[in-house]
């Protein structure tokens, strides 16, 4: 399913559509006695009982959560890789040094080109093929109307961290696509065939990291804002869906009237969720030939 189609389905299921504010970005979060206040880039102010940050690997909500914690409860979040469990899965000794920004705990070892191509005659809806080789891998699946969704993952020359994680241009994408043009995806189908018939494509770095703490006060992060795992195979997708699924009972319990301060440690930060993400991280690197 295309991202645009998924967003449309989700939007159509919302009862109070007027509450959806588009083209808004969080710039500042302020705690209130009975909730949270958010300021957006357009000057809009929104108040609520809790704030759920699902704003990706470069999460502003996470950054604001760290900023507030530094003032209200110093030491709540670790300030460096060496004292943070967010990167304890990655044992590269060259990465154990103090950091000026906590977001530098994200590590990148792979780049990815993902795209959508027209029908090839090789894939029906739901068909999927994975190719695992030294330093690169591919995942291809069939979609509706003959569309083909594909990913190709390529190892970087060395692990990159924080601000050293590269950003890629179309020229970078084309060079990498040329490098892997002869990779055979299915009988008689090569990556060059998919790339030649692409309807959309983009190249992006694949940051990775599992942050030790995902919440503070009335704020919580989910998805890539809390844990970013390289999606080199499809079992990661239901994992994300499961972890990001709040039940109405959990939300109702979190925001119910109470004389005590509201905190959100139980909704999406259950130990089992962290263990699942950690195991998936290890599993994917074993499949792709990663060696600790």
Asked if residues 137 and 153 have their Cβ atoms less than 8 Å apart, the reply is yes
| Dihedral (CA of 19, 20, 24, 29) sign | positive
Average pLDDT over residues 135-145: 88
How does strand 45-48 pair with strand 215-216? unpaired
Sign of CA dihedral 79, 83, 89, 95: positive
* Terminal-to-terminal C-alpha distance of the chain: 35
DSSP string, 151-164: EEEEEEEEEEEGGG
CA 216 centroid distance within chain: 20
- Give all strands of the β-sheet with 219-221 in edge-to-edge order: 51-53, 219-221, 215-216
What's the rounded Cα separation, in Å, for the pair 35 and 217? 9
Judge whether residue 247 has pLDDT over 50: no
266 pLDDT above the threshold of 50: no
pLDDT at position 121: 83
DSSP state of 197: T
Please check the confidence at residue 90 and state whether its pLDDT lies above 70.
Answer: no
Are 106 and 89 a contacting pair, CB within 8 Å?
A: no
Range picked from 73-87, 99-113, 127-141, 257-271 for highest mean pLDDT: 127-141
For CATH 3.30.9.30, the residue range(s) in the chain are: 105-207
The pTM assigned to this predicted structure is 0.72
What's the average model confidence in pLDDT over 159-184? 92
- Judged against a pLDDT cut of 60, whether residue 157 lies above it is answered with yes
128 and 143 Cβ atoms separated by less than 8 Å: no
pLDDT(175) > 90: yes
Buried b (16+ CB within 10 A) or exposed e, 265-276: eebbbeeebbeb
Rounded Cα gap, residues 193 and 183, in angstroms: 10
- 15-29, 72-86, 115-129: segment of lowest average pLDDT: 72-86
Average pLDDT of the chain is 77
- Name the residue with higher pLDDT: 195 or 214: 195
DSSP state of 93: G
Q: What does the alpha-carbon distance between residue 143 and residue 127 come to, in Å, rounded to a whole number?
A: 8
In the chain, CATH 3.50.50.60 covers 24-77+213-285
* Nearest by Cα to 220 from 76, 17, 62: 62
Yes or no: say if 87 and 94 are a contact pair by the CB < 8 Å rule: no
Does domain 105-207 fall under CATH 3.40.50.620? My reply is no
- Of 44-53, 141-150, 244-253, the one with minimum mean pLDDT is 244-253
Q: Is the pLDDT of residue 278 over 50?
A: yes
Closest CA to 95 of 82, 108, 110: 82
- pLDDT for position 126: 83
**pLDDT cut 90: percent of the chain above it:** 32
Lowest mean pLDDT among 28-37, 58-67, 82-91, 210-219: 82-91
Angle, helices 236-243/271-287, rounded to nearest 10 degrees: 170
Q: Is residue 221 pLDDT above 50, yes or no?
A: yes
What topology does CATH give the domain 24-77+213-285?
FAD/NAD(P)-binding domain (3.50.50)
């Amino acid at each position: 399913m295309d991202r645009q189609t998924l967003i449309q389905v989700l939007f159509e299921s919302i009862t109070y559509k007027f509450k959806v504010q588009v083209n808004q970005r969080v710039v500042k979060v302020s705690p209130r006695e009975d909730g949270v206040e958010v300021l957006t880039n357009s000057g809009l102010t929104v108040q609520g009982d809790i704030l759920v940050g699902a704003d990706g690997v470069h999460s502003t909500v996470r950054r604001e959560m760290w900023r507030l914690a530094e003032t209200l409860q110093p030491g709540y979040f670790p300030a460096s890789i060496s004292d943070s469990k967010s990167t304890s899965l990655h044992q590269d000794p060259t990465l154990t040094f103090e950091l000026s920004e906590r977001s530098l705990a994200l590590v990148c070892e792979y780049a990815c080109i993902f795209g959508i191509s027209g029908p090839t005659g090789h894939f029906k809806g739901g068909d999927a093929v994975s190719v695992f080789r030294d330093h690169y891998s591919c995942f291809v699946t069939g979609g509706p109307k003959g569309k083909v969704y594909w990913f190709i993952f390529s190892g970087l020359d060395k692990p990159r961290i924080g601000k050293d994680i590269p950003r890629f241009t179309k020229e970078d994408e084309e060079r990498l696509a040329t490098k892997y043009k002869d990779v055979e995806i299915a009988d008689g189908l090569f990556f060059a065939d998919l790339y030649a018939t692409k309807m959309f494509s983009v190249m992006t770095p694949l940051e990775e990291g599992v942050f030790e703490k995902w919440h503070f006060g009335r704020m919580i992060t989910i998805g890539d804002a809390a844990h970013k795992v390289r999606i080199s195979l499809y079992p990661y997708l239901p994992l994300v869906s499961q972890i990001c699924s709040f039940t109405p009972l959990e939300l109702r319990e979190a925001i119910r009237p109470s004389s005590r301060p509201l905190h959100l440690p139980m909704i999406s930060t259950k130990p089992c969720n962290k263990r699942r993400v950690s195991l998936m991280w290890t599993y994917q690197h074993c499949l792709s030939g990663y060696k600790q």
